[in-house]
Amino acid sequence: MKTLIQNDLVRNFVAGEWQEGDDNASIKVEDPATGEIITYCALASDETLERALKGARQCFENGDLKNLSPLAKATLLRRVAFEIRKIADEGAELLCRESGKALDDAKSEFIEAADYFDYYSGIADKIEGKSIPLGPGYVDYTILEPYGISAQIVPWNFPVSLAARGLAPALAAGNSVIIKSPELDPLGIAALGIALERAGAPKGSVSILNGIGSDLGAKLVASKDIDQIVFTGSVPTGQAILKSAANEVVPALMELGGKSAGIVYADADIEEVLESVKWGIFFNAGQVCSALSRLLVCQERYDEVLQRCVELAEGLSVGHGLKNSSLTPVISEAQLCKIEAKIARASADGAIIATGGKRLQRDGHFMAPTILCNVAPESRIAQEEIFGPVLCVIPFKDNEEAIQIANNTEFGLVAGVFTKDLSIAHKSASALKAGQVFVNEWYAGGILTPFGGVGKSGFGREKGVEAFYNYVRTKNIAIKL
C-alpha cells in the first residue's frame, strides 16, 4: 500500500486525492504493545475539510453516485468489497500494530468491512417506495432519497469495521460520506480509502480525514453543509455532537457506550458461560461497546462461577497482537490510567479484586485481566463503562432481582441470558432493557442483525436491513389526476 504511507506520513483521502494537511500538522501513531512510534499522520486542516465538503457536495449534486443505475451502484459496492479483501492481510498488520489488537481479529475486521459492502450491495438495487391508495382521482407514491452529505465519526476500538458499517449503507443509498478517523489508530481506515479508490468510487463520494475529535471532528459535525451525522463513541462526545446537530437541525444516529449484563441462571451451561466471558470481556482487551462487563450469577452457582472466571483470567496468554495473544494491550497510556483509577476507587468503595487490578509490568499498555467481586450493583464500578478487561461478578437471589440489577444502569446496549429453559430465556429477553439480547452466546448475531441502544447507549439502529433506512428519507408524491 505505497500510497498510504509516504515519507513516514499517512495522508488524508480528500475527494479522491491523497493529500497532506495544509499546515503541516501531524500526530504520531503508536504501537500500544511496545510504545514505539509506527508512523505519523497528517492532520486535515480547515481548508482540507472545506475541500472534502465541496467535493462531497459536487459529487452529490452531479449525481455521480446517486444517479448511477441501481445495478451499477450494487456492482460498485461489490467491487469495494473485493478490493477490501485484497488488502486485508496488509491492512490487518497495520491495524494490529496501531490498535494493539490480535492480528487475526484485525484481519476479521477487514473481512467484516468487506462483508458490509457485499451485504448492502444487495439492497442498493432494491430501494423501493410504496404506492398509497387515495381513492379515485389520485395517485400517490413514495420515493426514498439519500440525505446528501453524511458526516461519520468513528472510534478507535473497531475503526475499520465500524467505518464500513456506516459507509456501506450510506453509499448504497447514494449519499456522499466524510469520515473523521480516530486519532489513535487512523491507518486501517486510511487503507479503506485505497480500496475505495481502486474500486472506482466516484471522486467526492468518500473522504477520509485525520484529525483530533475536539477540533476537526467538532468542526465537521458543526458544518452547515452536512445533512446527517453518524456517530459511534462515548456518551459525553455524543451529547456534544447532539448539541451541534440541534443547532443546524441535522438528523443524527448515536451508537454510544454500555454496561451490559449477562445473567447466569442455575441451569446454565458453565462452559458456555466461560466461553462468553472470554470473548465478552477479554476480547480486544475489553474495549468493546457491547462488552460483557457485569456477570450476574444466581447465588447457588456464584462461588463456582467466580472461581472459574478467575482461573480463566489467570490462564490467558498475554502479548503482542502480532502473536495473536488472548490478552492484548489497551489502546493508550491514558486509557490504562483511567482503568487503574476506576479500580482503585472501586476498591475504596468495598469491591474485592479477585484477580488482576493493575497494569502488568512489561512494555506497552497492558492491563491485567481483572475480576471484581463484592461489588454493590449501584456502585460506580458497576454503573460506569470501564472499557478495559475488567469484569464485575455480582450475585442475585431470584430472577426478578437479576432483571432489576441488569436494568439498573443508564445504559441499555446489549444484555445476555444463560439458561437451558426457553421460557425463562424468552421472559428475560422481553424484560431486559437493551437493544439486543444474547441467549447462551455473547455476541450471537452479526452484520445481519440490527444493533443499537436504548437509554444512554444511544438511538437508531446499525447493521441489518433496518440500518439502511437510516440513510434515506421518504418523499411522498400525491397527484390529483
Identify which of residues 309 and 331 has a Cβ nearer to ligand NAD in the complex: 331
Q: Which phi and psi angles does 136 have, rounded to 5°? A: -60, 140
Asked if 450 and 467 count as a contact pair (C-beta separation under 8 A), the reply is yes
Residue 235: other Cβ atoms inside 10 A: 18
Number of residues that bind ligand NAD (CB under 6 A): 29
**What's the chain's length in residues?**
481
Q: Which of 289, 298, 373, 392 is catalytic?
A: 289
Identify which of residues 65 and 221 has a Cβ nearer to ligand NAD in the complex: 221
Cα–Cα distances in Å, from 141 out to 55, 131, 475, 479? 32, 4, 8, 9
Identify which of residues 366 and 451 has a Cβ nearer to ligand NAD in the complex: 451
Asked if 131 and 141 count as a contact pair (C-beta separation under 8 A), the reply is yes
CB of 259 to ligand NAD, least distance (A): 9
Could you give the angle at the alpha carbon of 428 between the alpha carbons of 453 and 445, nearest 5°?
50
Identify which of residues 161 and 399 has a Cβ nearer to ligand NAD in the complex: 161
Identify the residue among 98, 183, 185, 197 touching ligand NAD (CB under 6 A): 183
Identify the residue among 45, 108, 210, 237 touching ligand NAD (CB under 6 A): 237
Identify the residue among 92, 256, 292, 354 touching ligand NAD (CB under 6 A): 256
Q: Which residue is nearest to ligand NAD (CB)?
A: 213
Report residue 289 as a C-alpha cell.
461497546
Which span (41-49, 253-261, 267-275, 363-371) binds ligand NAD, by CB under 6 A? Answer: 253-261
Which span (55-63, 177-185, 389-397, 418-426) binds ligand NAD, by CB under 6 A? Answer: 177-185
CB of 215 to ligand NAD, least distance (A): 8
Q: Which of 109, 112, 183, 255 is catalytic?
A: 255
Using CB under 6 A as the binding rule, the residues of this chain from 108 to 167 that contact ligand NAD are 153-157, 162
CB of 188 to ligand NAD, least distance (A): 13
DSSP character string of 422-451: HHHHHHHHHHS-SSEEEESSTT---TTS-B
Asked if 270 and 304 count as a contact pair (C-beta separation under 8 A), the reply is yes
Bridge partners for 370 per DSSP: 390
In sequence order, what are the residues at sequence separation of 6 or more whose Cβ sits closer than 8 angstroms to the Cβ of residue 243?
Answer: none
CB of 414 to ligand NAD, least distance (A): 9
CB of 478 to ligand NAD, least distance (A): 38
Could you give the angle at the alpha carbon of 314 between the alpha carbons of 312 and 320, nearest 5°?
100
Identify the residue among 289, 298, 403, 432 touching ligand NAD (CB under 6 A): 289
CB of 96 to ligand NAD, least distance (A): 18
Report residue 5 as a C-alpha cell.
504511507
CB of 443 to ligand NAD, least distance (A): 12
Helix, strand, or coil here: 365? Answer: coil
Identify the residue among 55, 146, 166, 217 touching ligand NAD (CB under 6 A): 217
Question: Checking DSSP bridges between strand 458-459 and strand 252-255, what pairing results, if any?
Answer: antiparallel
Q: Does residue 52 interact with ligand NAD by CB under 6 A?
A: no
Helix, strand, or coil here: 108? Answer: helix
Helix, strand, or coil here: 135? Answer: coil
CB of 351 to ligand NAD, least distance (A): 21
255 is known as an active-site residue: yes
Identify which of residues 3 and 234 has a Cβ nearer to ligand NAD in the complex: 234
Identify which of residues 220 and 297 has a Cβ nearer to ligand NAD in the complex: 220
Q: Sign of the CA dihedral 359, 363, 366, 368? A: negative
Identify the residue among 21, 257, 286, 356 touching ligand NAD (CB under 6 A): 257
CB of 349 to ligand NAD, least distance (A): 22
Which span (32-40, 122-130, 176-184, 350-358) binds ligand NAD, by CB under 6 A? Answer: 176-184
Residue type at 429? A
Question: What is the CB-side half-sphere exposure of residue 252 using CA atoms within 13 A?
Answer: 24
Which span (67-75, 101-109, 180-188, 416-424) binds ligand NAD, by CB under 6 A? Answer: 180-188
96 is known as an active-site residue: no
Using CB under 6 A as the binding rule, the residues of this chain from 382 to 411 that contact ligand NAD are 385, 387
CA 375/CA 394 separation, integer angstroms: 6
Percent helix, strand and coil across the chain, each rounded to 5?
40, 25, 35
Nearest to 187 by CA among 364, 322, 323, 9: 9
Identify the residue among 80, 92, 94, 241 touching ligand NAD (CB under 6 A): 241
Using CB under 6 A as the binding rule, the residues of this chain from 440 to 459 that contact ligand NAD are 458
CA 70/CA 51 separation, integer angstroms: 28
DSSP character string of 162-199: HHHHHHHHHHHHT-EEEEEE-SS--HHHHHHHHHHHHH
Residues at the interface with ligand NAD (CB under 6 A): 153-157, 162, 180, 182-183, 213-214, 217-218, 221, 232-234, 237, 240-241, 255-258, 289, 385, 387, 413, 458
The catalytic site residues sit at 255, 289
